Structure formats: C-alpha cells, structure tokens
Structure 1
Amino acid sequence: MENLLKVAMAQIAPVWLNKAATIKKIEATVIEAAKNGSELIVFGEALLPGYPFWLALTGGAQWNTNVNKELHAHYVRNAIQIEGGELDGICQLAKKNSIAVYLGIMERPQNRGGHSIYASLVYISQQGEIKSVHRKLQPTYDERLTWAPGDGNGLQVHPLKQFTVGGLNCWENWMPLPRAALYGQGENLHIAVWPGSDHNTKDITRFIARESRSYVVSVSAMMSKDDFPKDTPHVERILEKAPQVLANGGSCIAGPDGEWLVEPIIGKEGLFYHTLDVNRVYEERQNFDPVGHYSRPDVTKLIVNRERQSTVDFEDD
C-alpha cells in the first residue's frame, strides 16, 4: 500500500575509521533490512567511517601535536570521495533491493580541494541514485577541530511512496531555520541522524514531531571501548581515558502527534523496524501546519541559499 512505509533503523557500530570494512558492514545491513521488507533504511551520523571520539580523549584542542595531526590524517584518508565511486556498491544494493538509504558519512569532496572533510547525510533513492548530499551546516563543539562547516545545497526533500522525506545531522536538528527549510518543501517524514546516545534523541525527536506534525525517525550509532581497532593510530592514548560506552544508541520514532511509536533503544546493536502510515500526518495537520494554514508568510519568511559552495569558480572559454 502506497500510504504505508516500512522503515529500518540501523543502530550499529562502525569498524571505526576503517572505511572499507565499514562499507562491508553497511552493505550486509542493507541486505538484511531488505530481506525483512524494509523500504527505507537509516544509519547514524558519520557512521562511515566513524565519529571523532578521540578529540575529547587526547587533548584535541592542543595545537600542532603529532597525536592530533596523525589521527586527523588517518581520518581524512578513511573519509569518502563520492566522486570516486566509493558509494557505488551501496547504491547498487539500494537499486537491486528497491530500498532507499539515508547514510551518515565523512565526505572528502573534490570540489572543496579534497583535503577537508564534512559530516554529510547522503540520500540514495530506491532506484540507487544519490539524490542529495547534505553537509552539516555547523559542526558542534570539538567537532569543529576536524570537520568543516557545510552549505545549504543538501537542504532538499525527496518523494518516497506517499511520503516526502528530508533529514538533518545531529545538533542541526535543533536549528529552527534549517528545519523550516525542509518543512516548507512538504517534508512529512523527518530523518535525524546522531553519533549515538539517548541524551540527544529523547527530547528533540518528540519536539520536532509535534512542531512539524510529521513522523520523526532518529537513528544513532553504537560505540564501546571494545570497538576501537587495535591498529588505530595512538589507540593506547585514546583508550586511556575512554569510558566503556561512548555511544549507547537511543534510536527512536515519534508519530505526528509527538508521541512515541518506538521509544529510545538503549545498548542494543541491530536493526529495528516500524511501519508508518502517511494518513496520520493528514490527521494531525488538521489543527496545525507550520508552513501551511498555520503560517503567515506575509509577516515572516525564510530565504535559503542552496548553492553548493566552492572556493574557486572557473570561467573557461
């Protein structure tokens, strides 16, 4: 039925900072979700190849140290160059299995020189096509030591059966204007991706659902002390101060009335499923629609710059 959509939340740990091994794990997870009838699968923020946990554990703000420079270089080498085809295998699986994918990656784009990295949320359609790459607008706190700020190009929504899906990375879900940019394009299924932990998802998931009268699917990764590969640069230094659990999950789903459909899932790695009915959106929009009948564009209006930013524009003959 076109009004129903089965969603899979992939609450998994990466093979930390190993993009080849993490891609294999992602591909296996996509196949499993498709076998279970999922039409959309969502992975956490920066899952490919992992979140920069070392910054809080090794004095990440210390200037010009070998530890920080070598870990950053390792991170950059394991970031994804989409232009080089590094997501092609996942795209092919999406097409083969008619499953859409929202995937959090560390992107190393060629159009920004190929050396800086961005926390990007990639949407792959059921036809296996990359339809948007949203670079996180504002890295949070110590993320700014290794991630670059993105742009508005990825503030896009996509048709999926009778739904209109859009997504944001982690704390930019707290930014009201990017949310409004998606609402204004008809979003009724909001995807929020996180590096992990219910302290992020437990409040904002229900808030966005109630504000937008949409479904909100929050998906987080997992990470424990045991998940750090032994061949990671300076792994002993990282483990000295690492807690046993760095990301406990917290993936969850709220309905268009802001109530839980799936409460935050803590400490469990795996795939978690739920089927959404778009009719519930129409029911809840009856009394409130933030960009429709309950808005005043003659008084307040948002302007969005969706140009993909680049340092150099060439005007070749």
Structure 2
Amino acid sequence: MEMKQNCKVAVVQAGAKLFDTEATVTKTIELIEEAGNKQVDLILFPEAFVGGYPRGLHFDTYVGIRTDSGREDFFRYADSAIEIPGRETEQISEAVKKAGAYVVIGVIEKEKNFRGASLYCTAVIFGPDGKILAKHRKLKPTGSERLVWAEGDGSTLPVVETPFGRIGVLICWENYMPLARAAMYGKGVDLYLAPTADARDGWFASMQHIALEGRCFVLSCNQYTTKSDYPEDIRNRPFFLDLEDELCRGGSCIVSPFGSFIEQPLLGEEKILISELDLSQLTKSRYDFDVIGHYTRNDVFNLTVNEKKQQSVVYIKDEIKDEESRN
C-alpha cells in the first residue's frame, strides 16, 4: 500500500433524531454526500449517531424500582438500534461507496435476529468501497449509560491500515482509560478517533493530551443537539421541560501530534469541519517522543490485551450439545 503524504478529513458535528432511525440514516447519507463532495479521505461521525444518545432520559429507573412507562421508553430506544450488518448499514454503505472515503459512524447496535435487551454503543468503520472493515464496541458505559448499554469486549479493538496511516477509535470516556489508550498506541495508531458525548471544557484538554501522549492526530466528534431532535411526547414531559433547549453544545475538534488545535472546538452549531493533515508531522513529532519506539520500556512495562470474544452461555451450551452429538 503506497502511503500518502497528506490526507483530508471531515468531522461531522450534527444532531440525530431520537427514536427515528429512518430519518437519522437519511441525514447520515446526506452528510456523507456533503463531505464526500469535498474530496475527503476520512469522515467521522459522533458517538451514538444512528440509534441516538438518549441524553436527559432516565427510563423511570431508580434503585430497586422500574416502571411500565420506563420499559416502554426503553423498548422505543431498543427498537431504534440497528444490526451490523443490516438494512441501515447497507443504505449507508452505498453512500460511503459514492463518497469514496473511509467513514466511521457511532451507532447503537443490537444483536442480529435476537430480541434481547443488551445494546452496544458501537463505532462502525467503512472502507471507501462501502464494505464494513471493522467495528468497536464501547468497553465501559459511563454513569447512567450503564442502564441501557452493555459492555463490549477485547475482540473489537481494531486498528485499520489505510493509505494515510493507521486509524483507531475509542469512544467517549474510554479515552480516560490509560490502558485502553496504551492498547491503541501499541497498535501504532496515527489518526486517533474519539467520537464522544462530552462537551465540557476538560474534554478538549484531554484531546490535546492524547495527541501529545500518542504523537498522533486526534479527531474528536460530538453531536450538536437541541430539544427539537426529540419526539414531542418527550419534549413535553415535566423532567424534560426543566432542561435547556441546547442539550449538547458540540465541541468537535482536530488536534495535531504536537498538541495544538488544527480546528478549535466548534460550539453552538451544526457544521462539518474540513482539514488537510500534513502526515509528516507524525514522524517529526515522534523524533523526541516515540511512544512505542525509543520511548517505550518493554523491559519494565508489559500490557496484555485479551482480544478473544466473550462467549454467551447460550453459545457455550450449543458447543456442549455439538460435543455430545459427536460422541
């Protein structure tokens, strides 16, 4: 694979329509087309874009108490999740193919042909031919996210080779997990992708730190969300009326391997950030700090990553049955 000396990236800051996957997929396709018209090499979407980030919802869940109305809200949310691969990814795939770019999209994933309630916050990586190259399931949902999302495992920690370097993705507060970052660095990530739902000022400092620590480009991507992105019956609920109209202010940004902002955090609007990256900065920045080269100490430190897929009890039982039938 011939390596490029620069690449053009697009970071999409936009809001998804909660409980309306069809409308969100349509918007996703339009945004891919818009970014693709700029002749970009890579397009990044926010965390939980397709399927939705249920900001402000509590699903009527309290310690020791659940309600029928909360279960109904969860059903609507689970019904908005998508299968990978599935009808929605096929639709997105066609748009990706036309754009001819690598595309990384945050989705809410449900198991294929299964009516369970374990949903995953997942990042899907499409190649420029529209094929799904890999996916990453968020390892640890944060706070109330644990009410609606299950944990991923080490089998979905991919780093993908591209003509402009290796791309890898960690979602939101996974980026605060030192060993998860070390795993990404250990795989030689050049473009570190950080889709998120965190719009606080401290997040931006973390993105600069990761760029300096990993000597990589960091692309952080968040939604810009208002109450208009929610169904009317949600907007009219008492607990929701108390929230500000702007639910998430955005904050998408691009950081160089030297820790400086190429694109400052974007606040208060939907927009696609477009930037041309000089890939020579990767080698230049690693001249005095190469995190997996001359600045590593494998004689002192050792990181083991379990990349085996966790097996469900159902699958284990099926294996036992297969073994019994062979005997």
Alignment TM class, shorter chain as reference: over 0.9
Q: Which one of 166, 171, 174 corresponds to residue 172 of structure 1?
A: 174
Compare 63-72 and 307-316 and name the one that shifted more.
307-316
Q: Is the 8 A contact 2:47 2:105 kept in 1?
A: yes
Q: Which residue of 1 aligns with 2:279?
A: 278
Secondary structure at the residue paired with 1:239? helix
Q: Is the 8 A contact 2:134 2:158 kept in 1?
A: yes
Give the TM-score normalised by the residue count of structure 1.
0.93
Q: Following the alignment from structure 2 to structure 1, what is the Cα–Cα distance between the partners of residues 125 and 163?
A: 15
One-letter amino acid matched to 2:182: A
C-alpha offsets along residues 246-302 of structure 1, whole Å, 9 cap, x if unaligned?
100000011001111111000010211011121100000010011111011122111
Compare 212-221 and 63-72 and name the one that shifted more.
63-72
Q: Following the alignment from structure 2 to structure 1, what is the Cα–Cα distance between the partners of residues 159 and 262?
A: 23
Q: Following the alignment from structure 1 to structure 2, what is the Cα–Cα distance between the partners of residues 260 and 112?
A: 43
Q: Which residue of 2 aligns with 1:244?
A: 245
RMSD: 1.9
C-alpha offsets along residues 163-214 of structure 1, whole Å, 9 cap, x if unaligned?
1110110000111111111111110110000125243631111010000010
Q: Which residue of 2 aligns with 1:3?
A: 5
Q: Is the 8 A contact 2:263 2:273 kept in 1?
A: no
Q: Which residue of 2 aligns with 1:88?
A: 90
Compare 71-80 and 306-315 and name the one that shifted more.
306-315
Q: Is the 8 A contact 2:8 2:42 kept in 1?
A: yes
C-alpha offsets along residues 42-101 of structure 1, whole Å, 9 cap, x if unaligned?
111111121122335x65435211232111111000001114332011112212221111
Give the TM-score normalised by the residue count of structure 2.
0.91
Q: Following the alignment from structure 2 to structure 1, what is the Cα–Cα distance between the partners of residues 278 and 41?
A: 13
Compare 23-32 and 159-168 and name the one that shifted more.
159-168
Q: Is the 8 A contact 2:18 2:54 kept in 1?
A: no
Q: Following the alignment from structure 2 to structure 1, what is the Cα–Cα distance between the partners of residues 277 and 308?
A: 33
Q: Following the alignment from structure 1 to structure 2, what is the Cα–Cα distance between the partners of residues 308 and 110?
A: 16
Q: Which residue of 1 aligns with 2:297?
A: 296
1:156 to partner: Cα distance? 1.0
Q: Which residue of 1 aligns with 2:14?
A: 12
Q: Which residue of 1 aligns with 2:110?
A: 108
1:243 to partner: Cα distance? 1.8
Secondary structure at the residue paired with 1:54? coil
Task: List aligned pairs for 1:38-53, cutoff 5 A.
Answer: 38-53=40-55
Secondary structure at the residue paired with 1:261? strand
1:148 to partner: Cα distance? 0.8
Secondary structure at the residue paired with 1:281? helix
1:114 to partner: Cα distance? 4.2
1:309 to partner: Cα distance? 2.1
Q: Following the alignment from structure 1 to structure 2, what is the Cα–Cα distance between the partners of residues 196 and 224?
A: 15
Compare 120-129 and 203-212 and name the one that shifted more.
120-129
Q: Following the alignment from structure 1 to structure 2, what is the Cα–Cα distance between the partners of residues 115 and 310?
A: 17
Secondary structure at the residue paired with 1:151? coil
Q: Following the alignment from structure 1 to structure 2, what is the Cα–Cα distance between the partners of residues 61 and 204?
A: 32
C-alpha offsets along residues 216-241 of structure 1, whole Å, 9 cap, x if unaligned?
00000011122212255x85245323
Task: List aligned pairs for 1:117-128, cutoff 5 A.
Answer: 117-128=119-130
Q: Following the alignment from structure 1 to structure 2, what is the Cα–Cα distance between the partners of residues 289 and 142?
A: 37
Secondary structure at the residue paired with 2:56? helix
Q: Which residue of 1 aligns with 2:158?
A: 156
One-letter amino acid matched to 2:280: N
Q: What runs of 5+ residues in structure 1 fail to find an aligned partner?
A: none
